[in-house]
Structure 1
């Protein structure tokens, strides 16, 4: 993983000292709320419903065991003993005291972490595939390019005050696990017929009030022009993006208004001015970035026959089936630690659990973990021979729920329990669904199925692209929930269709049950939920759910 150099350390320490002075001035009354707002946002600090919220950057989801232990310490000393992994692979603290935030940032700097640009109208944390570097279907490891983008975008003076927040995702595998089509910029690594590495470039994706699937504007961008082309896109957006209405300020609105082809022409025209400029990447610089992401010391004797253990331990067999993924290195697997046990808010993790993950990573996965887009944690390099021991330790600490990819492995934002923007609570809905659908045999029969929950139209829970999406809405001061079907954030990205009128909180589990009943009745052999939905459409589900009792 990337290691800070002297410049990185100096810059981050300076930012901590700067924000400490700004916070002291605000608490002393020398800065108004309005003046402090942009300062705190670009240091990841929000003012939520009941307390400040600090969003800590986890670049492309990669964490060392040392960083995990520091996060555990910070969570215990400055918060209420737990933290929350987000869909942007970041970590949030929901209860820090404002006066403690500079101290938290100082402690993060000790382990090469920060909260810079995790909020504000700037380029946010770059996200990627949680299996980067180990996925069998990987074309090229995306992490070096993510790191190049991170270094380029951090403190970039031209892009510090964009019309609106800006999100970039990079995918290096055939299967899109980074949701690149619903980002402001989505980059798909490809290799052309000449054997050259480059990017397929998508622009204008995003969720929120106006959900849009990104548009392809360049079929092949040579890798050396990564930054110059991103610069051209950002400059075009910075110049033409709306600043009079924050709800229409995202780049997706600009791309939709101009049309993808016309927007691409504008980008190409701007690119002509910078194409061979100072930010053109040399092969030396690309190789330097790659040098931080070397292969660990894999062992030759890592393979194991687990047949007998799986026969003896049914729960272990289930865990292998759902939570263990193939690895490009023979004898190794990637293990997903589920943060979705029943009764726990999806993505929440305690201080002691963070320390346990660090211990497991040190012992079994070269001291490294990845936070996932789906709010779980991955051990990327586990020997097959160690899988049974890892499962036992995961069980002890609450990470072994064998539900990855099933209905209860849901994405869920913090909702109205914390967020001041939310119209409704998300966490109680998630728990009600978890409790209603605890039968693992039933979940496995349903097969791969994504369920995403957002507490408001900002769509932090990505409800638009869940196979089943749930959106909290406000009706005259009461919480209701709208249901959508047919979304996808993968290669076949699509936006869900609203079923119809919303439902009360207590009705949601029954509505989900009726949706699943229609699927089970109408599916063809081996057909997954999304395939059935796309074949039969929304009407059969609508008829079942809104049918009047006789």
Structure 2
């Protein structure tokens, strides 16, 4: 893992001190709401439906056990409303549901929970109930372990994301993490790009399979090798979701690795100059690339030549600098857990019990992934279970994940795009003990990639932008598919859920997507089918297509069930004897049978109601 040097650490501490001064002046009435708003947003502090929301940056998803413990401390001690915050929230109550009473158990349908962190699709961590008066304390606590919320908001370059298997995948062209870190350092508080037309997101993928969903990003970078074996990047620009889902355009097939900062700068500089600022819905770079096409690419190439040939290529990545950063990502020394003579029998019992349990075999198939080191495995902890919102982690779970990371994964964990945690450095001999420990914590459900492993944004229960709640519908779907045998029979399905058109739940990229919409002040939901984030090797990233009119909230779970039942009737066996996947069946037979089933389910659900 990358370790901040003294300059980095001092910078983050100074930023926390600066924010404390700004907060104290605001609370004393010396700064107005209008004056304080950009200051808090620059540090990741939003004001949401009921309370402040803090977004914590986790570059390319990597977390140390020490950082996990600090996040647990924040969840336990700070993610709780004080009396004033609760009183203010009660005044803001809407038809979306009541504000809960502190200390009550969390009920997803009717209450908003405290003491939770939330993993996002962009590998950040969010908290939803930290009183603003305590926000400076939280920033200082984060700074103590090299964390912050800088540039997790605002019209700047946001958190740099990557494949969660970066540096360990067997199909990797090159490790993207050193490049991510170099880009992060270059982009942090870049004076020219702090006030772009809109927010800007960059993803880097280093493997043959695109597990970073780069086609959906403002800039997507794919590591490649040319015919001579040199490392470089294929660059896509102008991807994005929201009201206008667009897959990024390839603007260069190969940019040498040492020149990538110049090329990114050229792409963003042209956007900063020509991107629209008069309409927030048309301000993203995807609109500029779509409208200008080849003209945009020509402008980028012209700017790139100017930077390299006239300006002297000031941001060329030297071999020495790359080697310095890459050294931080050297594989840790990993050995199996020590077995002393007294404990030998216990370890053997754990292994025997695991190997005799059919759930262990399922866990090995779904939650354990290959590693480039044949002695190691990458293990996913599932944060998708009944009674807990997708991607949520309690303070106790965060502490437990830190302990698992220390015992089994060289002190490292990673947040994934799918809102789970990955342990990247697990010795294969330790799998039975890890499974036993994770199972006790409720983090070993073998559902990775299956229908209950859904992506969901917090929706209307928390977000002031949302048109509808996502969490109660996600819970209803999870409840319908609790039979693990049935879930395994269904097989791989990407189900993504967004509470509004901003698409934080990446519904456009789901094999099945759900979007909350507002109709006459009521919650309704659109269903899309056939989307992909690009990780499906049988096809590129693509947006899903809407299935007819929107559905009432009482209908959604039944509609999803009808779509799945239709798939099970229509799927065929593959050449290897396995059942055809949902997305393969959909692509083969088309949308019409699924659309008919969804609309038929609408009427059935209404009759039952």
TM-score of the superposed pair, with normalisation by structure 2 = 0.88
- Within 2, Cα distance between the matches of 1:213 and 1:330? 35
- Within 1, Cα distance between the matches of 2:292 and 2:160? 26
Contact 2:438 2:444 in 1 (8 A): yes
Structure 1 portions without partners, runs of 5+: none
Contact 2:337 2:430 in 1 (8 A): no
Deviation of 1:255 after TM superposition, in Å, equals 0.3
Residue 121 (structure 1) aligns with: 155
Is 1:93 the counterpart of 2:127 in the alignment? yes
Residue 557 (structure 2) aligns with: 509
Residue 183 (structure 2) aligns with: 149
Deviation of 1:342 after TM superposition, in Å, equals 1.2
Q: Map of 1:166-315 to 2, 5 A cutoff?
A: 166-259=200-293, 261-275=294-308, 276-299=312-335, 312-315=356-359
Secondary structure of the residue aligned to 1:120 is coil
Say which is worse superposed, 9-18 or 133-142, in terms of deviation: 9-18
- Within 1, Cα distance between the matches of 2:195 and 2:22? 19
- Within 2, Cα distance between the matches of 1:67 and 1:439? 35
Residue 418 (structure 1) aligns with: 462
Say which is worse superposed, 245-254 or 24-33, in terms of deviation: 24-33
Residue 500 (structure 2) aligns with: 456
Residue 522 (structure 1) aligns with: 570
- Within 2, Cα distance between the matches of 1:450 and 1:406? 7
Deviation of 1:468 after TM superposition, in Å, equals 0.2
Deviation of 1:396 after TM superposition, in Å, equals 1.2
Secondary structure of the residue aligned to 1:159 is coil
Is 1:443 the counterpart of 2:487 in the alignment? yes
Deviation of 1:309 after TM superposition, in Å, equals 5.8
- Within 1, Cα distance between the matches of 2:45 and 2:248? 29
Is 1:379 the counterpart of 2:423 in the alignment? yes
Say which is worse superposed, 90-99 or 13-22, in terms of deviation: 13-22
- Within 2, Cα distance between the matches of 1:243 and 1:446? 46
Query: Of the candidates 391, 396, 400, which is equivalent to residue 347 of structure 1?
Result: 391
Residue 44 (structure 2) aligns with: 44
Deviation of 1:269 after TM superposition, in Å, equals 0.4
Contact 1:171 1:178 in 2 (8 A): yes
- Within 1, Cα distance between the matches of 2:558 and 2:441? 31
Deviation of 1:252 after TM superposition, in Å, equals 0.3
- Within 1, Cα distance between the matches of 2:227 and 2:432? 43
Deviation of 1:437 after TM superposition, in Å, equals 0.6
Contact 2:390 2:454 in 1 (8 A): yes
Q: How many residues align?
A: 548
Contact 1:44 1:115 in 2 (8 A): yes
Contact 2:337 2:407 in 1 (8 A): no
Deviation of 1:311 after TM superposition, in Å, equals 5.1
Secondary structure of the residue aligned to 1:158 is coil
Residue 19 (structure 2) aligns with: 19
| CA distances 1:6-50 after superposition (whole Å, capped 9, x unpaired) | 211221122112211221222222222222222111100100001
Say which is worse superposed, 34-43 or 135-144, in terms of deviation: 34-43
- Within 1, Cα distance between the matches of 2:306 and 2:2? 31
- Within 2, Cα distance between the matches of 1:434 and 1:106? 38
- Within 2, Cα distance between the matches of 1:370 and 1:168? 18
Contact 1:343 1:434 in 2 (8 A): no
| CA distances 1:322-355 after superposition (whole Å, capped 9, x unpaired) | 1110111112110000000112100100111111
- Within 2, Cα distance between the matches of 1:299 and 1:52? 43
- Within 1, Cα distance between the matches of 2:364 and 2:260? 38
Secondary structure of the residue aligned to 2:516 is strand
Query: Of the candidates 102, 122, 130, which is equivalent to residue 164 of structure 2?
Result: 130
Contact 2:239 2:249 in 1 (8 A): yes
- Within 1, Cα distance between the matches of 2:353 and 2:282? 56
Q: Map of 1:356-367 to 2, 5 A cutoff?
A: 356-367=400-411
Secondary structure of the residue aligned to 2:207 is coil
Secondary structure of the residue aligned to 2:192 is helix
Contact 2:203 2:219 in 1 (8 A): yes
Deviation of 1:539 after TM superposition, in Å, equals 1.0
Residue 434 (structure 1) aligns with: 478
Contact 2:386 2:475 in 1 (8 A): yes
Say which is worse superposed, 486-495 or 48-57, in terms of deviation: 486-495
Residue 108 (structure 1) aligns with: 142
- Within 1, Cα distance between the matches of 2:147 and 2:355? 43
- Within 2, Cα distance between the matches of 1:444 and 1:374? 18
- Within 2, Cα distance between the matches of 1:359 and 1:298? 16
Is 1:2 the counterpart of 2:24 in the alignment? no
| CA distances 1:244-292 after superposition (whole Å, capped 9, x unpaired) | 1111100000000101x22111100001111242111111111111011
Secondary structure of the residue aligned to 2:325 is helix
Residue 111 (structure 2) aligns with: none
- Within 2, Cα distance between the matches of 1:361 and 1:440? 27
Secondary structure of the residue aligned to 1:157 is coil
Secondary structure of the residue aligned to 2:270 is helix
- Within 1, Cα distance between the matches of 2:189 and 2:249? 28
Structure 1 residues 308 and 524: CA distance shift in structure 2, 3 A: farther
- Within 1, Cα distance between the matches of 2:547 and 2:493? 18
Deviation of 1:521 after TM superposition, in Å, equals 1.2
TM-score of the superposed pair, with normalisation by structure 1 = 0.97
| CA distances 1:487-513 after superposition (whole Å, capped 9, x unpaired) | 000151010000011111111111011
Deviation of 1:297 after TM superposition, in Å, equals 1.1
Residue 587 (structure 2) aligns with: 534
Residue 443 (structure 2) aligns with: 399
| CA distances 1:117-164 after superposition (whole Å, capped 9, x unpaired) | 001100000000111111111111100000001100001110001000
Contact 2:156 2:200 in 1 (8 A): yes
Structure 1 residues 294 and 109: CA distance shift in structure 2, 3 A: same
